[in-house]
Amino acid sequence: MTTHSHLKLVIEAALFAAGEPLNVFDIKRLFDVDVPADAIRRAVAELRQDWQGRAIELVELAGGWRFRVRPEYMGHIERLSPEKPPRYSRAVMETLAIIAYRQPVTRGDIEQIRGVSVSTNVIKALETRGWIDVIGYKEVPGRPGLYATTKKFLDDLGLNSLKDLPPLAELGQLVIPEESRIEQIE
């Protein structure tokens, strides 16, 4: 039988080693015996307490739990690899925002809201990144795909749910002005 302290240590190690957030099901797979979900949640809650006041925090995201550097220390950490985060064209950001804030939507819905056609490259880039997916088909002639954001989108943005999305006005800081864009989608 797994002791509570052993359970906590295994979960802590797995969360450090994992590249993606881990949920209860993922953590259960770490053990040969069946560990109750409430025991896992209790151990994770204790780990969160253990890491209080440190430079690293254990956060719960849409896809599960993961360790991350606290935001107030990110400026220092970014000096280790001074790469700038990817910036996206206005078309990509507008398309992603429409999908995130109005989901599920069809390509036609996006085009109607934006007032211009949506490039296939924009949709493919968002799908390739794992941020959007077709979740069904609208029951109209042609049966267009219904796009919605994914858990990966929420995890990559450090969000627990769509309710945590920032106001639309804040998205403008991430957009490359239209005249200087060279399709920096990928």
Please tell me the predicted confidence (pLDDT) of residue 150. Answer: 94
Are both 169 and 112 inside the same structural domain?
Answer: yes
Residues 57 and 45: their CA atoms lie apart, in Å, by 12
Are both 70 and 116 inside the same structural domain?
Answer: no
Walk along the chain (186 residues) and give the pLDDT tens digit of each residue.
Answer: 578 899 999 999 999 999 899 999 999 999 999 999 999 999 999 999 999 999 999 999 988 999 999 989 988 888 887 777 677 888 898 899 999 999 999 999 999 988 899 999 999 989 999 999 999 999 989 899 999 999 999 988 888 889 888 877 665 555 444 444 334 443
**Residues 16-53: tens digit of each pLDDT:** 999 899 999 999 999 999 999 999 999 999 999 999 99
Range of the domain at 168: 88-180
Please tell me the predicted confidence (pLDDT) of residue 49. Answer: 95
- Total tally of structural domains belonging to the chain: 2
Q: Is residue 185 part of a domain?
A: no
Q: What is the CA radius of gyration of the chain?
A: 20
Last residue of a domain, one of 77, 110, 130: 77
Last residue of a domain, one of 53, 77, 101: 77
Are both 69 and 113 inside the same structural domain?
Answer: no
Are both 101 and 48 inside the same structural domain?
Answer: no
Are both 22 and 95 inside the same structural domain?
Answer: no
Are both 97 and 57 inside the same structural domain?
Answer: no
Are both 57 and 127 inside the same structural domain?
Answer: no
Q: 150: domain CATH number? A: 1.10.10.10
Residues 142 and 148: their CA atoms lie apart, in Å, by 19
Residues 130 and 157 sit within 8 Å (Cβ to Cβ): no
| Max CA pair span of the chain | 63
Query: Quick one: what percent of the chain has pLDDT higher than 70?
Result: 89
What tokens were used for 92? 């990509």
Q: What is the mean pLDDT of the chain?
A: 86
